[in-house]
Amino acid sequence: MSLLVGVLSLVLSWDRLGQVLYAVCAGLAVVVAVWTVRLLVRHAWYTHRLSCFSKPPVDSWLKGHLGKMKSTEEGLLEVDELVKTFKHSCSWFIGPFYHLVRVFHPDYVKPLLMAHANITVKDELIYDHLRPWLGDLLISNGEVWSRKRRLLTPAFHFDILKNYVNMFNTSTNTMHDKWRRLVADGTTTIEMFDHVTLMTLDSLLKCAFSYNSNCQESTSEYVSAIVQLSDLIIDRRQNLLHHWDWIYWKTKQGKQFKEALSVVHRFTRDVVQRRRALISQQRETETKAPRRKKDFVDIILLSKDEDGHGLTDEEIQAEANTFMFAGHDTTASAICWTLYNLARHPDYQEKCRQEVTDLMEGRDGQNIDWDDLANLTFTTMCIRESLRLHSPVQAVTRKYTQDVALPGNRTVPQGTICLVSIYGTHHNPTVWTNPYDFEPQRFDPTNTDRSSHAFIPFSGPRNCIGQKFALAELRVVVALTLLRFRLAPGENPELGSRSGGIRRLPQLVLRAEGGLWLQLEPLPTPTMDTPQAK
């Protein structure tokens, strides 16, 4: 014991402790110096390789464009200026950490979105912050992405989508019943996002999970958590220190993120577990009763690839979370902005209404059928023009494992983050005449002159797997809404004329600051006994 005490005394003496601390500090200083040198060398290398792209002015060679990406109305206006100035692309860097190429012209977008999945990876600037929430479907790459895509594609077959149309009708009817009650009580101006987001969530749960949530008639903790997660992710992007997990999870925002995340994951987990139990029960009784048609969650639970392997429990949870978010929030944004654009253009609104009225003439009910969707030609043109003008998602990003050639002898070096600006491409005056005007005629089916990548609301070939689902729901909701209500621009009743008009809010999906308010006027319900106006 005395020997041990003596050794400890020697080691812990002030002289020895000082030597240990000196060695530790010297080691840390060397590590920091090496890391800094490597970072600056990498920064210089990317700066040289990206010199073939024009670059907006910067205040500092080191900070670059740090702080200049804004998720506000002003940020979108700055993108407009970038597009007007640089026409097709520019380089951009955020400190010495992130080097980007921003593209906003179809000729430059196409090579990036058409690149083979084997060389395409999701970047850490945008997608890593989504990983705790959405797992790997939205962020998977190469063969992993291809395998999951093959497993999930059957969930969006036309035969399954046809069955969903009835549920779109049902959820829309519930929302419209709420609107009629509000109007009857004297509330004629309604904030669209509050109502439509609940409606699309209700619809998604019925379609994909065969789950009646009644969320339109009660407060939804899940929707509140989704909005909070979206806000927190945008805030995290703006703070470079928060890009490191070991810092972020110790902050107040990181703890708020985890709390909201637990709400979202618990909700999705409960829905999936409920479906597991039902599938098990149906297996026991399938000889006694006919099986119902599979929905999305059935497919992710039961599908197997060519090797006989299905999705793991972790993958199933990730796919459910991804589809829950992407399947209702983006669609809600698209519906809200479509109704807003039609409210601002009463002539187009009336033309759409007449198209729907003619379609429904002589019917006993007011439901939109699957076969009706192809006959909503002008309404679909208006929806597509709204998707151009107010795309739910403003940009997508990619990285590549090898150099990618672009027009004009420009090359995107391996490892560079490519930001494909959907907003910039859709508002590029070299691509679209009067790009800020709402002109549905651009999408007349006879118009075949447009570049294949001029209109990319679903981000190209590796596009949103649920786009057929979203477009079908859009047409049903818009058609039924115009059949039953006349829309006009409204004002936030708390602000009135002080609101200063609509200010766009580009978060994970495009929203509006202070909400998107429309004035509703209920229309007489057509019946078989009431002649339809021609």
- CATH number of the domain that residue 375 is part of: 1.10.630.10
Confidence at residue 328, expressed as pLDDT on a 0 to 100 scale: 82
Decide: 229 and 133 in contact? Cβ < 8 Å: yes
CB atoms within 10 A of CB 444: 11
The rounded distance, in Å, linking the Cα atoms of 474 and 380 is: 9
44 and 135: one domain? no
- How much is the average pLDDT of 147-160? 65
pLDDT tens-digit map of 204-232 = 888 877 778 788 887 778 888 887 888 88
29 and 161: one domain? no
How is residue 367 annotated by DSSP? P
Confidence at residue 84, expressed as pLDDT on a 0 to 100 scale: 96
What is the SS3 assignment for 508?
A: coil
Residue 305 counted as domain residue: yes
Is the per-residue pLDDT at 257 higher than 50?
A: yes
pLDDT tens-digit map of 97-147 = 889 999 999 999 999 998 887 888 776 666 777 778 877 555 455 555 566
Hey, which of 34-43, 490-499, 506-515 has the most confident mean pLDDT? 506-515
318 and 243: one domain? yes
Report angle CA 402, 46, 77 to the nearest 5 degrees.
100
Residue 531 counted as domain residue: no
17 and 145: one domain? no
Confidence at residue 200, expressed as pLDDT on a 0 to 100 scale: 92
Residue 528 counted as domain residue: no
14 and 158: one domain? no
Is the per-residue pLDDT at 276 higher than 80?
A: no
Q: Number of folded domains in the chain?
A: 2
- How much is the average pLDDT of 331-338? 96
Residue 495 counted as domain residue: yes
CB atoms within 10 A of CB 436: 9
Is the per-residue pLDDT at 447 higher than 80?
A: yes
48 and 78: one domain? no
* Lowest mean pLDDT segment, chosen from 49-63, 108-122, 226-240, 311-325: 311-325
Hey, which of 139-153, 202-216, 461-475 has the most confident mean pLDDT? 202-216
Residue 94 counted as domain residue: yes
More confident residue, 67 or 97: 97
Hey, which of 26-30, 123-127, 298-302, 303-307 has the most confident mean pLDDT? 26-30
Residue 295 counted as domain residue: yes
36 and 71: one domain? no
126 and 47: one domain? no
Is the per-residue pLDDT at 533 higher than 50?
A: no
Torsion of CA 208, 210, 212, 213, to 10 degrees: -40
Domain that holds residue 40: 2-52
Which residue positions form the known binding site? 464
Residue 32 counted as domain residue: yes
| DSSP string for 278-308 | HHHHHHHHTTTSPPPPP-HHHHHHH---TTS
pLDDT tens-digit map of 386-421 = 999 999 999 988 889 899 999 999 999 998 999 999
The rounded distance, in Å, linking the Cα atoms of 261 and 418 is: 28
Decide: 66 and 94 in contact? Cβ < 8 Å: yes
- How much is the average pLDDT of 263-279? 82
Element (H, E) at 317: helix 313-344
Judging by DSSP bridges, how do beta strands 395-400 and 510-512 pair with one another? unpaired
More confident residue, 89 or 218: 89
Q: Which residue has the tokens 């809404």?
A: 481
The rounded distance, in Å, linking the Cα atoms of 41 and 332 is: 45
Is the per-residue pLDDT at 516 higher than 90?
A: yes
pLDDT cut 70: percent of the chain above it: 84
Q: What's the sign of the alpha-carbon dihedral 50, 55, 60, 64?
A: negative
Confidence at residue 482, expressed as pLDDT on a 0 to 100 scale: 97
Confidence at residue 284, expressed as pLDDT on a 0 to 100 scale: 63
Is the per-residue pLDDT at 462 higher than 70?
A: no
438 and 474: one domain? yes
Confidence at residue 528, expressed as pLDDT on a 0 to 100 scale: 43
Decide: 386 and 328 in contact? Cβ < 8 Å: no
The rounded distance, in Å, linking the Cα atoms of 180 and 521 is: 9
Decide: 188 and 521 in contact? Cβ < 8 Å: yes
How is residue 453 annotated by DSSP? T
At 241, give phi and psi (nearest 5°): -60, -30
The last residue of one of the domains, among 28, 52, 76, is 52
What is the SS3 assignment for 94?
A: strand
Q: Which pTM value belongs to this model? A: 0.85
The rounded distance, in Å, linking the Cα atoms of 530 and 362 is: 9
Q: What's the sign of the alpha-carbon dihedral 221, 227, 229, 232?
A: negative
312 and 344: one domain? yes
Confidence at residue 475, expressed as pLDDT on a 0 to 100 scale: 97
Confidence at residue 143, expressed as pLDDT on a 0 to 100 scale: 56
Residue 533 counted as domain residue: no
The last residue of one of the domains, among 30, 52, 74, is 52
Which residue positions form the known binding site for heme? 464
Confidence at residue 534, expressed as pLDDT on a 0 to 100 scale: 36
Confidence at residue 281, expressed as pLDDT on a 0 to 100 scale: 74
pLDDT band at 76 (very low <50, low <70, confident <90, very high): very high
The rounded distance, in Å, linking the Cα atoms of 50 and 100 is: 9
* Lowest mean pLDDT segment, chosen from 5-9, 95-99, 172-176, 440-444: 5-9
29 and 168: one domain? no
Give the closest residue to 506 by CA, choosing from 11, 153, 120, 76. 76
pLDDT band at 344 (very low <50, low <70, confident <90, very high): very high
Long-range contacts of 406-409 (CB under 8 A, 24+ apart): 406/89, 406/103, 406/108, 406/111, 406/112, 407/88, 407/107, 407/108, 408/52, 409/52
Average pLDDT, rounded, for the chain: 84
410 and 478: one domain? yes
